[in-house]
Amino acid sequence: MSSNVPDVDAPAPPPTVIRSTADLVRAAVSGWLGTALEFMDFQLYSLAAALVFNEIFFSGSNPAIAVVLAMATYGVGYLARPLGAFYFSRKGDKIGRKKVLFQTILLMGLATTLIGFLPTYEAVGVLAPILLVLLRLAQGFGAGAEISGAGVMLSEYAPTHRRGIIASLVALGTNCGTLLASGIWAILLVVLTQEEVIAWGWRIPFIASALIMLFAVWVRLNLKESPVFEERTDVVDGRAMTHVEYVEQAVETNDIRTLQSLERKPIKAIVVAFFLRFGQAGNSGMIQTYLISFITVTLAMDKGVGANVVIISSLIGFATIPIVGFLGDKFGRRRMYIIMTSIALVLIIPTMLAINSKELAAVFVGYVVIHNIGVLGLASLENISIPEIFGARNRYTLTAMVREIAAIIATGIGPVIVAAWVAATTGSVIPIMVLLGVYTLLALIAAIIAREWTGRDLTDPRPAM
């Protein structure tokens, strides 16, 4: 009997729950908005930490230590993300994606907005960084399941042969959020004096983020549930069965796929997904967070350079992200991972040397190239790849946990380590090269040992490998 059961990489059959084009568009906009807000928050804090937070919240320390503390506070947000991922994603697998995504964006958005109302170190002393840490924890708790849920929702909505290009909209959301935050900061640095930015101008981006949050909340109130969630055989009246009910149904109906999913532990799937995420997240922390501080503080370039280089690179990313998503659909996501990580490995040294030269044109070219290849290109593949790798019943939970545990190790800790390492080596660029090389190589190895997962049936409860 089991010989008639489709393999885990069998093409997906036609869906039984149909969604209209309007539903797909609404899901795409919802995912894009939520991810845009998350990465706007991410970049707002990243730039603030690199440009002004060392003076606003940590002014009692010497300049070098203040930068390390600002990066450490940035990393604190990642401590709450796995907790939020575990809490919200388990609910998402049990009661559906829509309800959970409404909750995550509301919590995340409120925490970000409130950062704009915080008192400074000068006003209340040590209470200021304490309040900042608390809001970063709340922000991370909500964000822990946001982008994972958006990726899962959109992958389960999209037609099989277009999953990559459609799910790339989630990655475009990261780009839009990064670009918007960088643009706001660039304008502030041009329009306001340094004193005005430190006195009150830094609050504007955080408070303004509430507008995106409110729009995203409205969109999600009108969003239909994932068709794959509704197609699951273990979902009754919009809620998943308990584990005992799930096993009893599988035995009673002799559901071979379900029985195989209960026997086969997703260990390899977890390892592969973890290191694919680890590589991209680590590169993101190095390039989108620490490298801006390195350009501004260590290389002592004008503060506007850091914001402007991110803007230019993000604009180019509007082409990079959908192109890589399309190529993943056409040639397979595993193959594209191998190609992209191999190119990134080759480019790390020349791009970092270009940035370290302090020549304005070289800095821009170096940053744009490594950011688009090592961060944005991999993000385009990642947002669809990780949900595809896992089975239907625990897709949201495993996707969120893998993403966030990898992020807390790679992205949360990485900028702190490299900031201390660079300080210890009196401004050497070598620590950045080393960490970028480690992150990228691990993602390449994960792709090499993986089994192709592109276009599989997302209603299948079994992992892809």
Q: Decide if 130 is inside a domain.
A: yes
Q: Decide if 291 is inside a domain.
A: yes
Q: pTM of the entire structure?
A: 0.83
Between 1 and 259, the more confident residue is 259
pLDDT surpasses 90 at 172 = no
Question: How far is 131 from 432, CA to CA, in rounded Å?
Answer: 31
Q: Decide if 2 is inside a domain.
A: no
In sequence order, what are the residues at sequence separation of 6 or more whose Cβ sits closer than 8 angstroms to the Cβ of residue 454?
164, 328, 329, 332, 333, 334, 388
- In this structure, of 90-104, 240-254, 350-364, the range with the lowest mean pLDDT score is 240-254
Residue 197 is which amino acid? V
Distance spanning both ends of the chain, measured CA to CA: 21
CB 264 within 8 A of CB 462: yes
Nearest to 343 by CA among 354, 335, 332: 335
Reported as a pLDDT band with limits 50, 70 and 90, residue 4 is low
Q: Decide if 293 is inside a domain.
A: yes
Give the model's pLDDT for residue 373: 97
Q: Decide if 455 is inside a domain.
A: no
Nearest to 240 by CA among 91, 388, 84: 91
Give the model's pLDDT for residue 426: 85
252: exposed, middle or buried (Cβ count in 10 Å: 0-12, 13-18, 19+):
exposed
The residue-averaged pLDDT of 282-293 equals 88
Q: Decide if 374 is inside a domain.
A: yes
Give the model's pLDDT for residue 341: 98
The residue-averaged pLDDT of 110-133 equals 86
Give the model's pLDDT for residue 61: 56
Residue 281 tokens read as 């997240």
Domain count across the chain: 1
The residue-averaged pLDDT of 64-92 equals 80
Give the model's pLDDT for residue 71: 66
Highest mean pLDDT among 150-154, 166-170, 191-195: 150-154
Residue 273 tokens read as 């997904």
Model confidence pLDDT, tens digit, residues 302-328: 878 887 888 899 889 999 999 999 999
Residue 108 is which amino acid? M
Between 10 and 457, the more confident residue is 457
CA distances (Å), 318 to each of 15, 171, 277, 372, 392, in order?
Answer: 30, 9, 21, 10, 31
Between 397 and 128, the more confident residue is 397
Between 385 and 183, the more confident residue is 385
Residue matched to tokens 């794959």: 228
CB count, 10 Å around CB of 19?
18
pLDDT surpasses 70 at 273 = yes
Give the model's pLDDT for residue 1: 42
CATH number at residue 261: 1.20.1250.20
The residue-averaged pLDDT of 38-48 equals 79
Give the model's pLDDT for residue 209: 87
Question: How far is 387 from 395, CA to CA, in rounded Å?
Answer: 6
Question: How far is 366 from 25, CA to CA, in rounded Å?
Answer: 35
* Residues spanned by the domain of 427: 21-227+252-449
236 pairs with which residues across the strands? 239
Q: What is the mean pLDDT of the chain?
A: 88
pLDDT surpasses 80 at 3 = no
Q: Decide if 458 is inside a domain.
A: no
- In this structure, of 39-53, 237-251, 405-419, 434-448, the range with the lowest mean pLDDT score is 39-53
Q: Decide if 245 is inside a domain.
A: no
